[in-house]
């Protein structure tokens, strides 16, 4: 039996900020920034007409990621200085997998990236 991430009953969003940019895949992401380096995290969304897009992650996930003991080593490995208004990007599934967190429930409409870099 698989276990999936369950949203907390309430959340505080102290870490990560919504960052708007001209990335070819998304217009907004959750940016984790330490000193001059940053890492963008995106999550896929769907509307009632089954259109999907990538945007910032759920607020309750930001603190869970940032406060995880393995976040800083992962951040140091993947983050970089802003280049042309863009930061290195990972999906929420990529980072949850890397940190060995319970995954989000996979939806039938979700797509994935075949490459490490987005």
Each residue's pLDDT tens digit, 62-105: 989 999 999 999 999 999 999 999 999 999 999 999 999 988 88
Dihedral Cα 22, 25, 31, 36, nearest 10 deg: -60
28 occurs within a structural domain: yes
Which DSSP string do the residues of 39-97 spell out, in sequence order? EEEEEEEE-TT--EEEEPPPHHHHHHHHTSTTHHHHHHHH-EE-BTTB--EEEHHHHHH
pLDDT in tens, 7-33: 655 555 678 999 999 999 999 999 999
- The answer to whether 118 and 91 have CB atoms below 8 angstroms apart is yes
Specify the number of domains making up the chain.
1
- Give the model's confidence band at 1: pLDDT under 50 very low, under 70 low, under 90 confident, else very high: very low
Site of tokens 């999907």: 52
27 occurs within a structural domain: yes
- Look up the domain containing 46 and give its range: 17-98
109 occurs within a structural domain: no
107 occurs within a structural domain: no
22 occurs within a structural domain: yes
């Amino acid at each position: 039996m698989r276990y999936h991430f369950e949203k907390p009953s309430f959340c505080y969003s102290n870490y990560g900020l919504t960052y708007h940019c001209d990335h070819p895949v998304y217009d907004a992401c959750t940016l984790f920034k330490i000193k001059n380096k940053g890492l963008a995290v995106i999550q896929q969304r769907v509307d009632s007409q089954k259109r999907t897009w990538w945007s910032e992650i759920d607020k309750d996930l930001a603190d869970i990621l940032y406060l995880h003991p393995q976040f800083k080593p992962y951040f140091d490995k993947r983050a970089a200085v802003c280049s042309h208004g863009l930061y290195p990007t990972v999906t929420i599934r990529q980072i949850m997998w890397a940190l060995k967190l319970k995954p989000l429930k996979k939806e039938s409409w979700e797509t994935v990236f075949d490459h490490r870099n987005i």
